[in-house]
Amino acid sequence: MIHSGNKLINLNTIFYCVFMFPFLIFQSIKMNDINFFLLSFPFMYLLFTIETSYFIIDDDFFVVKYYSLPFVRIKYKLSEIESIVILKTLYRSFSQAQLQVKIHNKKSIAFRSACLKKKDWRILLDDFRTHNISFNEGSYDYFKKIKTYREIQEEKRFEQNN
């Protein structure tokens, strides 16, 4: 299952397109120096791609990909994953949470995804649960309060029938 959320309309992309890209162009024009843009653009692009990961879980692998860096792919065998650690995000992060993979008592880097909303994180954790992969205590409760669209629809149908 692919857990990608909305890749185009998320705070990370909006912030970059609305503020940073025009700022770089304006500064280049103001300074009358195209080199400023050519040097700053890749740096700012990489800075904003930190939170552009999305996750794929299939029968054998857990894959982390970045939609703004399509050539980057990090694969983990599901059978080797000991647990998943969900962490709170850092200050000024657009992501709802961070995900670390624990394999052989070693933790991966913390993957952030600005395109996943809380309900998407919950569905991701449910998917890990179906593959018998544990996660840290409290992480599921953090997302449990947020109901999925399917659950809201089922509650409405139940209320209408009663």
Give the CATH number for residue 107: 2.30.29.30
> Closest Cα to residue 105, out of 82, 129, 86, 84?
82
pTM: 0.68
**In-domain check, residue 27:** no
pLDDT on residue 114: 73
Query: In terms of C-beta density within 10 A (0-12 exposed, 13-18 middle, 19 or more buried), how is residue 36 classed?
Result: middle
Cβ–Cβ contacts within 10 Å for residue 27, how many? 13
Query: How many domains does the structure of the chain reveal?
Result: 1
Q: At 112, list the tokens.
A: 């952030």
Locus of tokens 């949470």: 97
Look at residue 116 and tell me if it is in a domain: yes
CA distances to 77, 107, 161 from 59, in Å: 9, 22, 38
Q: What is the pLDDT of residues 71-103, one digit of tens each?
A: 889 999 999 999 888 877 765 566 677 888 999
pLDDT tens-digit map of 144-158: 655 556 677 778 888
The pLDDT value recorded for residue 77 is 94
**Does 34 reside within a domain?**
no
Residue 6 lies in a domain: no
> Which regions of the chain are under pLDDT 70?
1, 4-16, 48-49, 90-95, 137-150
Q: What percent of the chain has pLDDT over 90?
A: 12
Extract the tokens encoding 130.
């179906």
- pLDDT value of residue 45: 74
- Interacting residues of 10 by C-beta distance below 8 A, sequence separation 6+: 94, 114, 115
How far apart CA 94 and CA 131 sit, in angstroms, is 28
Report residue 147 as tokens.
């109901």
Please give the residue range of the domain that contains residue 77.
Answer: 51-161
Residue with tokens 């700022």: 23
Q: What integer pLDDT is reported at residue 57 of this predicted model?
A: 92
Q: Using only the alpha carbons of the chain, give its radius of gyration.
A: 19
